[in-house]
Homo-oligomer: A and B are copies of this chain.
Amino acid sequence: MPAYETRLKVRFSQVDYAGIMFYPRFFENFHAVFEDMFTDRLGVPYTHVLRDRRIGFPTVSISTDFRKPFRFGEDMALKLDVVKLGNTSITFRYRGFHEGQAEASVEAHGTVVVLDLDSFETMPIPDDIRAVLEGLRAEDVGSA
């Protein structure tokens, strides 16, 4: 199944004095595509999950390879899919591509836990959210 995709532009506020995206700014973009995916695929705004259903997804680990810098003004095609779907945790893959490139210029694997925001205990992934995430499973990741 295809990954969820967003197109972004590298902003002045995101580049460092060398004119390339400052690496912490990538993670803000990763979060933005995550929000958009929930809103689009679940059919309700991500805020609804957070505020009304009181479910959070704190990141517990993330590993990132920065292969090719993104310069101010360039476009990034940012793809999100799921490489591991546990009972109470999810591992997402974030890949940022330069225009027309088949290989990701930045790639991250980030694991979140599903948290009940009232009790602050982990909880099983709710069925409707699990269904959305099943639709985002990566096809090209072997044992991940």
Partner-B contacts on A (CB < 8 A): 9, 11-13, 15-20, 22-25, 27-28, 31-32, 35, 45-47, 50-51, 56, 58-67, 69, 71-73, 117
Query: Nearest chain-B residue to A30 (Cβ)?
Result: B24
- With both beta carbons as reference points, the residue of chain B lying nearest to A15 in the complex is identified as B17
Q: A61-B64, A69-B58 are in contact. Are A16 and B23 (CB under 8 A)?
A: no
List B contacts of A22 (CB < 8 A): 12-13
Report whether B23 and A62 are in contact in the complex, using a CB–CB cutoff of 8 Å: yes
How far is B69's CA from A27's CA once the two chains are assembled, in angstroms? 17
Nearest B residue (CB) for A20: B58
Distance (whole angstroms) from the CB of A20 to the closest CB of chain B? 8
How distant is A12 from chain B, measured CB to nearest CB, in Å?
6
Selected from B17, B28, B35, B65, the residue in CB contact (under 8 A) with A19 is B17
Verify B61–A63 contact, CB threshold 8 A. Answer: yes
* Partner among B18, B24, B117 whose Cβ is within 8 Å of the Cβ of A28: B24
- In the bound complex, do residue B60 and residue A65 qualify as a contact, i.e. CB atoms below 8 Å apart? yes
Q: List 7 A-B contacts (CB under 8 A).
A: A11-B31, A11-B32, A12-B17, A13-B16, A18-B58, A23-B62, A24-B31
Q: A13-B22, A27-B23 are in contact. Are A73 and B61 (CB under 8 A)?
A: no
B23 touches A59 (CB 8 A): yes
* Interchain CA distance A28-B22 in the complex, whole Å: 9
Compute how far the CA of A138 lies from the CA of B45 in the bound complex, rounded to whole angstroms.
Answer: 35
